[in-house]
Structure 1
Amino acid sequence: MSQLLDKAKNFIAEKVADMPKPEANTTDVDFKDVTRQSVEYLAKVNVSNPYSTSIPICEIKYSFKSANREIASGTVPDPGSLKASDTTLLNVLVKVPHNIIVSLVKDIGADWDIDYQLDVGLVIDLPIIGNFTIPLCQKGEIKLPSISDFFA
């Protein structure tokens, strides 16, 4: 009897491993706004759903790093769901406190940009499988706004 259960488990595990899974990529990270408390950046994430039903997204976790240290992290709770058999654009708002930007002066002063790494984890609820995290990593640089950007 235990051999039959083992064969059934292996069969199900193989079928689940071969199932198509949603895929995601970060398309853009740009400066969005300056507030009294922080500088805001907007990350755009495209997620393709291969299934004919929509999939709920439980949360989006992010970590924003520069100069080999984490300068912002957080979660976006309940951002909606992925459209069935389509690509969904998700916006992830990253808020970096001003005091951390000031501590990056050495990197900023050289070329007036921030070299960054954005790690995003999309936690989705797949039927049968359960919660599944799609990890993303984007590296790049963000040009900082100049005074003329505020008055143009």
Structure 2
Amino acid sequence: MAQLMDKAKNFVSEKMSDVAKPEAHVTDVDFKRVSKDHIEYLAKVSVQNPYSASIPICEIKYSFKSASREVASGRIPDPGSLKGKEITMLDVPVKVPYNVLMSLAKDIGADWDIDYTLDIGLVIDLPAIGNFTIPLSHTGEVKLPSLSNMFSH
């Protein structure tokens, strides 16, 4: 009986690997605004839906890491859906508390930027498959806002 179950699992796995799935990538991460307790960056995510029908997005999860530690994380429940046979642009706001940024000051140095890794899990509801997570990872540098940025927003 166990062999039959293993064969069934392998068959389903092989068939699922052939099924077209939405593809996504982070196109940009940039400064958005300053609030009284955090700096907000905005990640832009481009998602290509290969199906003619729209696909609901269950949630977006994110983790923002710098200097080998997580400095911000969050989730966006029910952010909408992916349009059929189109590219959908999603905005993922990343809120980084000031106190964390100050502890990263040694990494910032003279160039006033921080190196980061942004991990995003885009959880979608695929018909006949169920919830499926598209994992994304993006590394880069973001500038900390200058005084003029802080007072212009």
Residue 74 to residue 3, structure 1, CA distance change in 2 (3 Å): closer
Partner Cα separation in structure 1 for residue 85 and residue 61 of structure 2: 24
Partners of 1:21 and 1:50 in 2: CA distance: 7
Distance 1:5 1:41, change over 3 A: closer
| Alpha-carbon displacement from aligned partner over 1:54-103 (angstroms, at most 9, x marks no partner) | 00000000000001100000100000000000000000001111100110
Residue 29 of structure 1 deviates from its aligned partner by 0.3
Structure 1 unaligned residues grouped into runs of 5+: none
Aligned to 1:124: 124
Q: Which runs of 5+ in 2 are unaligned?
A: none
Range 135-144 or range 103-112, more displaced: 103-112
Matched residues, number: 152
Q: TM-score, normalised by structure 2?
A: 0.90
Q: TM-score, normalised by structure 1?
A: 0.90
Partner of 1:103: 103
**Residue 58 and residue 110 in structure 1: after superposition, are their counterparts in 2 closer, same or farther (change >3 A)?**
same
| Post-superposition offset of 1:9 | 6.2
Which whole-Å deviations, capped at 9, do the CAs of 1:13-60 have from their partners, x for residues lacking one? 433220110000000000111100111010000000000100000000
- Aligned-pair Cα RMSD in Å: 2.2
CA contact (8 A) 2:34 2:150 kept: no
Call closer, same or farther: CA 1:68–1:9 in 2, change over 3 Å: closer
Alignment-derived partner of residue 87 in structure 2: 87
Distance 2:138 2:114 in 1: 13
1:32 and 2:32 correspond: yes
Residues 6 and 146 from structure 1, CA distance in 2 versus in 1: closer, same or farther, beyond 3 angstroms? closer
Matches within 5 A, 1:2-151: 11-150=11-150
